[in-house]
Amino acid sequence: MRPDVRYEPARFYLLTYCFSWTPWVAAAWCSFRPGLESLDQLLMLAGLLGPLVSALVCLRRERRQELWHDFKDRLVNLQRLNWRYLPVTFLLMPAAAYIAIQISLSFGRSATQFALIPNLLAMVPLMFLAPTLEELGWRGYGVDALRARFAMWPATLLFAALWAIWHVPLFFINHTYQHDLWPQSPIYVANFFVSVIPAAIIANWLYYKHRRSIPAAILFHFMLDAVAESFRIEQFTKCIVTAVFLAVAVAVVLMDRRSFTEGPRDFIDGPGAQAR
């Protein structure tokens, strides 16, 4: 890595946990106090800003401007999109959900899982907002910071672990998706964390196939959330979705070993430094 371009992965992830967990811990306290619902929602939103705020802090700390210019280019330059991989980016989650629901029907689960939830319109803004705020931080700085220090495979697994841990406070905030898993089954809680691993593997793979395009990362993350939250998919079926994603992740790693065996990489080498 060039000595004049300095990524700070430890600082980024520590700041992200601090900026996200502090308001989320407060939200957990407020969520069980009647009359504090509005404050609870504001604190939840503040926590979502953690990855983005941390990325901006780390970008501003860099003495030179390469990282900042690279961030802006990856955000607005749609020429980075790899059109060959757009169908996978857009359709993988819907296809995995469809396959999982079909399998669940053979176990006696309801076909109403194909139906949309009744309050879908109210959920749409959050479906757009959460992936956008997260990916501006994760792909805007966090993932590349790990790749600057580690090879693709360990960097991806490390990111998966850090991403999963980042969600932990949400399990203690009343009425969140994560909190509502507790009374259903510990298996579903475990499935949430396990599901992050193949999702991170595929997300990182697509991110680099799209030449580090942040909009591509947002699109894939949006599809993950939108499909899971728009349909009445049972938690039993979401375990099957995780299995489908694990199979896809294994296939991706085996078929594209070159990408996953690549060593540490500094992408700030000039205009030609884009992932293969």
User: DSSP letter string over 210-265?
Assistant: TTT-HHHHHHHHHHHHHHHHHB---HHHHHHHHHHHHHHHHHHHHHTHHHHT----
What's the rounded mean pLDDT across residues 52-64? 89
Those residues whose C-beta lies under 8 Å from the C-beta of residue 268, and which sit 6 or more positions away, are 2, 5, 66, 67, 70
Indicate which residue of 37, 62, 66, 134 is catalytic: 134
Helix 86-105 to helix 235-255 angle (10° resolution) is 140
What's the rounded mean pLDDT across residues 219-228? 97
Q: How many CA atoms within 13 Å lie on the side-chain side of 177?
A: 13
Average pLDDT of the chain to the nearest whole number = 93
Structure pTM? 0.94
Of 165, 176, 173, 239, nearest to 200 by C-alpha is 165
pLDDT band at 38; cut points 50, 70, 90:
confident
Tell me, yes or no, if 175 is annotated catalytic: no
pLDDT band at 268; cut points 50, 70, 90:
confident
97-124: b or e for each residue (b if 16 or more CB lie within 10 Å)?
Answer: bbebbeebeeeebeeebeeeeeeeeeee
What's the rounded mean pLDDT across residues 5-21? 93
What's the confidence (pLDDT) of residue 269?
Answer: 58
Question: Pseudo-torsion of CA 198, 186, 178, 39, nearest 10°?
Answer: -150
Q: Which run of H or E residues covers position 35?
A: none
Tell me, yes or no, if 134 is annotated catalytic: yes
Supply 153's token pair: 């495979």
pLDDT band at 273; cut points 50, 70, 90:
very low
pLDDT band at 96; cut points 50, 70, 90:
very high
Residues 260 and 275: their CA atoms lie apart, in Å, by 12
pLDDT band at 276; cut points 50, 70, 90:
very low
What's the confidence (pLDDT) of residue 6?
Answer: 79
Indicate which residue of 8, 37, 69, 167 is catalytic: 167
Supply 184's token pair: 């259903």
Q: Is the pLDDT of residue 195 over 50?
A: yes
